[in-house]
Amino acid sequence: ENEWLLTEVLRNEWGFQGLVMTDWGAMNDRVKALKAGLELEMPGPDPYNDKKIVDAVRNGELDEAVLDRAAERLLTVIMRAGEVHKKEYDAAAHHILARRIAAESAVLLKNDGMLPLKKENSYAVIGAFAETPRYQGAGSSRIHPHQIDCVLDSLRESGIAFEYAPGYELEQDTINPVLLEEAAACAKGRDGILVFAGLPDSYESEGFDRTHLNLPKSHTALIEAVTAVNPHVTVVLLCGSAILMPWRDRVESILLTYLGGEAAGSACADVLTGTVNPSGRLAETFPLSLEDTPCCENFAGEGKDVEYRESILVGYRYYDWAEKPVAFPFGYGLSYTSFSYDSMEIVWDEKEEKGEARITVTNTGETSGSEVVQLYIGKAQSGVMRAARELKGFQKVFLEPGELREVVIGLDRRSFSCYDTNRSCWTVEAGTYQIYAASSSRDLKLKKDLMLPGKELSHIPGYDAAETVKDGHFAADRKQFKRLFPDELPLTPDDGRITLNTTVKEIMASEKGKALLGGLVEGYSGRYSG
C-alpha cells in the first residue's frame, strides 16, 4: 500500500518493469494496494477481495485504468513465461556441478590438524545427519532432487575406514542416553571423530522465527559426550544460519557446510579428505551470544510495531562498528594452505570516477588452493553515521604452491557513496577514505588512503557508539532511535478489534478472542470429522 516505495522508487527511480506480488497471505487492503502499484495477490484467486475490487470500480473509489494497468503487467509476465519451452538437461552433469558448488561453498571454521583425513587412520562418524543429511531448506523452497548423496557412502568410496553411530534421533530434540552411550563407546580409541550436527527443519524454516541460536539439546549433548572421551573431534555443521558454539574450544576442527543441496554428501567428503581445498567464506557473522546481536533488545517490537533500531548497523557493520568480539567474523574461512598479501596499489581516474585496487597475493603453503580477496572501504571522519568499513568487492583466485598473482577489484563512484537523506540521493562525501585488502571483515591485511572530492555533508543525526553500546550490548532506546527520523515515529493504536491481521497470540490475549477461536476450531472439527 506504499505508493512511494512501489511506484516512485521501484518503477520510476529504479526502472522496474515487472509485476509486484504479495507474499502468501500478506494482503491487507486490496484496493489500496492496487492503487499503490501491487498487481498480484497470492495465493489466489480470492473471491472476497475480488468483490472488493469490483465494488471499488463501480462506486468510483478505484479508477478502472489502474485495474487495466495491473492486468496488463500481469498478462505481460504470463506471456513471457509462456515463451519458455521445456528443455532437456543432463542430470548427471548438473549433479557434478552441484557437487563442485557445494564443496567450494563449505567454510572451514577451525582446523588444528585434524583435516584433511588420512586413509591410514581409524575414524568414528557420529550423528544421524551423516546418514540422513539436511541438504535444503523447509517450506515452499523444498524440491525433490534427482539424486541425493550420503556422506557415509562417499567417505567409504574415498577409502576412509570408520564406524558409524547415530548419536541422536532425527525427529526429536530429547536426549537419548542409549544413543549417547553407544556414540561414546564408538568414539573411544579412534584416531579421529566426525560429529555431524546442525539445525533440523523444526528449528529453522519459513513461516516462523528462531527463538534462540542454540543447536538442539541432543546435538550439543552428543558433542559434549564425544569430546569427553576423545579430544580429536571434527564437528561438521549442517544448518542454514548462525548458531552458538560454546564447545568450539573443545574440538579440533569445525566444518560448516550450510545446506549443500543434492550433492552435499559427496561434496562434504571431498573437503574432509582434501580432494577439494575449502575456500568458502562466511556471508554472516557468528556471534558469541544472542544478547550480542543488535536486534536482541527490540525484536519483535512492541504491540503492532517493529522498530528496526539497528538502522544501517546490520550484521558485520554493527559488530565491527561496536568492536564486538565474535566467534567468527563476516568473510572468514580457512584453507589447507596459507596466503600472504604482499602489496596493494590503488588506481583512480578522477575524471571518469572509476578505478581499481591491484592486490598481489602469494600461496605460501604446500597445497594448491583458492583465496577470497576482499576489499573494504571506510571513512573515519564523516558527517553521517557509517559502518567502520563495508565490503565493496571480492575476488576468488586459485594459486598453486609458491604462485604469486595480482588480483584486480574494480571501483567506481558508488563504491564510495553514502545515501544523503537531505538530498534523497547517493552522494560521495569529500574527504579521505581508507581502503583495505582483507581476508575477512576483521583480518585487514593491507591499507591505502584515497582522497576524493565531493559534497560537504551536513551532519545527519546518528548513533554514537559510546552511548549506544552499553555493557557490551546494543541498547538504542526509542529516544535515540527518534534522532534518525525527521518526523514523529508512528505508533499503531491497539483498538482491540480482531481483523485479518490479528495474530493467534493477540486473539488469545482476550476472553472474547479465546471464545471466537474456540468456536472456529470446534466448527472446523465438526465439519471435517467423519
Phi, psi at 391, each rounded to 5°? -70, 125
Q: Is the pLDDT of residue 383 over 90?
A: no
Which residue among the candidates 23, 209, 249, 471 is catalytic per the annotation? 23
Q: Which residues, other chains included, contact 473 with Cβ-Cβ below 8 Å and sequence gap of 6+?
A: 291, 292, 296, 297
Is the previous residue joined to 116 through a cis bond, with omega within 30 degrees of 0? yes
- Residue 351 cell numbers, joined: 575524471
- Confidence tier at 530 by pLDDT (50, 70, 90): very low
Instruction: Please give the C-alpha separations between residue 492 and each of 204, 495, 512, in angstroms, as whole numbers.
Output: 29, 9, 21
Question: Which of 355, 351, 363, 421 lies closest to 392, judged by CA?
Answer: 355
Give 263-294 pLDDT, tens digit per residue. Answer: 999 999 999 999 999 999 999 999 999 999 99
How many other CB atoms are found less than 10 A from the CB of residue 390? 18
- Confidence tier at 84 by pLDDT (50, 70, 90): low
Q: Is the pLDDT of residue 509 over 90?
A: no
Strand pairing of 192-198 and 233-238? Answer: parallel
Write down all domains in the chain, each with its CATH number in brackets. 3-82 (no CATH), 94-278 (3.40.50.1700), 334-452 (2.60.40.10), 496-530 (no CATH)
- Residue 133 cell numbers, joined: 543429511
Strand pairing of 192-198 and 122-126? Answer: parallel
- Residue 269 cell numbers, joined: 567428503
**Measured in whole angstroms, how far is the alpha carbon of residue 495 from the centre of its chain?**
36
Question: Which of 181, 237, 231, 234 lies closest to 214, judged by CA?
Answer: 237
Return the percentage of the chain with pLDDT > 70, whole number.
97
Q: Which residues, other chains included, contact 422 with Cβ-Cβ below 8 Å and sequence gap of 6+?
A: 457, 458, 460
Question: Which of 255, 338, 318 lies closest to 473, judged by CA?
Answer: 318
Contact between 267 and 103 under an 8 Å Cβ cutoff? The reply is yes
Cα–Cα distance measured from residue 168 to residue 478, given in angstroms and rounded to the nearest whole number: 44
Phi, psi at 414, each rounded to 5°? -65, -25
Q: Is the pLDDT of residue 470 over 80?
A: no
Strand arrangement, sheet containing 444-452: 390-399, 369-378, 431-438, 444-452
Contact between 316 and 285 under an 8 Å Cβ cutoff? The reply is yes
| Gyration radius from the chain CA atoms | 27
Question: Quick check: helix, strand or coil at residue 384?
Answer: coil
- Confidence tier at 342 by pLDDT (50, 70, 90): very high
- Confidence tier at 524 by pLDDT (50, 70, 90): low
Question: Quick check: helix, strand or coil at residue 236?
Answer: strand
Tell me the residue type at 449.
D
Please, what is the end-to-end C-alpha distance for the chain in angstroms? 43
Cα–Cα distance measured from residue 171 to residue 338, given in angstroms and rounded to the nearest whole number: 40
Give 165-178 pLDDT, tens digit per residue. Answer: 999 999 888 999 99
pLDDT of residue 525: 60
In terms of Cβ atoms closer than 10 Å to its own Cβ (0-12, 13-18, 19+), residue 250 is middle
Cα–Cα distance measured from residue 362 to residue 357, given in angstroms and rounded to the nearest whole number: 16
Give 42-73 pLDDT, tens digit per residue. Answer: 988 788 899 999 999 999 999 999 999 999 99
- Residue 261 cell numbers, joined: 543441496
Q: Is the pLDDT of residue 381 over 80?
A: yes
Residue range 296-308: mean pLDDT, rounded: 80
Q: List 390's β-bridge partners, or say none.
A: 377
Contact between 287 and 242 under an 8 Å Cβ cutoff? The reply is yes
Contact between 261 and 145 under an 8 Å Cβ cutoff? The reply is yes
Q: Is the pLDDT of residue 523 over 70?
A: no
pLDDT of residue 490: 75
Q: Is the pLDDT of residue 415 over 60?
A: yes
Told to judge if 23 belongs to the known catalytic residues of this protein, a careful annotator would answer yes
Residue range 286-312: mean pLDDT, rounded: 86
Q: Is the pLDDT of residue 513 over 60?
A: yes
Give 214-244 pLDDT, tens digit per residue. Answer: 999 999 999 999 999 999 999 999 999 999 9
Return the percentage of the chain with pLDDT > 90, whole number.
72
- DSSP summary character for residue 302: B
Q: Minimum mean pLDDT among 2-11, 194-203, 380-389, 509-518: which range?
A: 509-518
Cα–Cα distance measured from residue 254 to residue 115, given in angstroms and rounded to the nearest whole number: 9
Question: Quick check: helix, strand or coil at residue 42?
Answer: coil
